[in-house]
Amino acid sequence: CHCHAFPNLEQYSQQLPPKIRNFVQSKAPVVQEKAQSILNALPVKAPKIPIQPKHLADIRKNGPGLLHKGLEYFSSFSMAGPILVKGTLGHLMESMQRNNIEKSVVIAAPPVASNEWLLERAAQYPNQIVPVAHTPTLRAEAGEKEWTEAFEALAQQGAKGFKIHPNVSPYPSHHLAYETLFETAQRYGLFVIIHTGCFTIPSYTNQRPSEPAMFAEYFERYRDVRVCLAHMNRDHPERAWDIMNRYAN
């Protein structure tokens, strides 16, 4: 599975100044318990709707664009509660055990789930969690040396792959960040996951579709680096298929 996990309140508070951190950590168990009880009181099953995935695809393709984008935008807010309470690595391990899943590819999601947090925590589950580091954010004038050092540090801390997310990254596809990302991936034998497709999510800094072809120059030059086109370029999988047919990696 490709998934995400997040710190619990106590872990997240470790990033705060000492006085605030101590206060939050003292209250964390009570807050977590109350949040869990509220979540348990909510309906656990959504009503069954007699609709097939192909019909949902038809709605996205032929229905009013603002309608499905608006629904996706606002429905994503409903995920906040469950993520804060049950989005931890511990809960993920329980879910994997219930569903007979042996390994999960867990991707960092800064600023909430930082690369450093994920790599430190994933080390506790070396045979079950495959940690993927998100493209870091460096100062605008950072050169090749800084970028290389940043990616190498993540690799040395245990990252098994790197994630490119054009909807939250401030860098264009031809940026030095991705050049050094692929260079480091090739040198360390790591894989790359690229977010593709069109999603309408509040936390995205831009809502433009992420097309696989944006990064074709790297697929061409780094043919030994394995690449996953996440979400199969939602709405237009034929474009992902075309890229896949052109590049065996």
Dihedral sign computed on CA atoms, order 217, 220, 222, 227: positive
Distances from the Cα of 14 to the Cα of 24, 158, 248, angstroms: 9, 21, 43
Coil, helix or strand for 106? strand
> What pLDDT, on the 0 to 100 scale, is given for residue 158?
97
List, for residues 84-124, the tens digit of each pLDDT value. 778 899 999 999 999 999 999 999 998 889 999 999 999 99
- Where is 193: in which H helix or E strand? strand 191-197
Query: pLDDT digit string (tens) for 121-149?
Result: 999 999 999 999 999 999 888 999 999 99
**pTM of the predicted model, to two decimals?**
0.81
CB of 121 within 8 A of CB of 89? yes
Other CB atoms within 10 A of residue 179 CB: 17
| 171/84: higher pLDDT | 171
201: pLDDT confidence band, cut at 50, 70 and 90? confident
CA atoms of 116 and 108, how far apart (whole Å)? 9
Q: What is the pLDDT of residues 16-72, one digit of tens each?
A: 566 555 665 565 566 566 656 655 665 555 445 555 556 666 766 776 666 667 777
Residue 242's Cβ-count burial label (10 Å; 0-12, 13-18, 19+) is: middle
- What mean pLDDT is reported for the chain? 84
pLDDT at 121: 94
Task: Quote the tokens at residue 82.
Answer: 């469950």
**Integer angstrom CA distances of residue 16 from 25, 33, 84:** 10, 21, 17
What whole-number distance in Å separates Cα of residue 195 and Cα of residue 214?
A: 11
Q: Is the pLDDT of residue 153 over 70?
A: yes
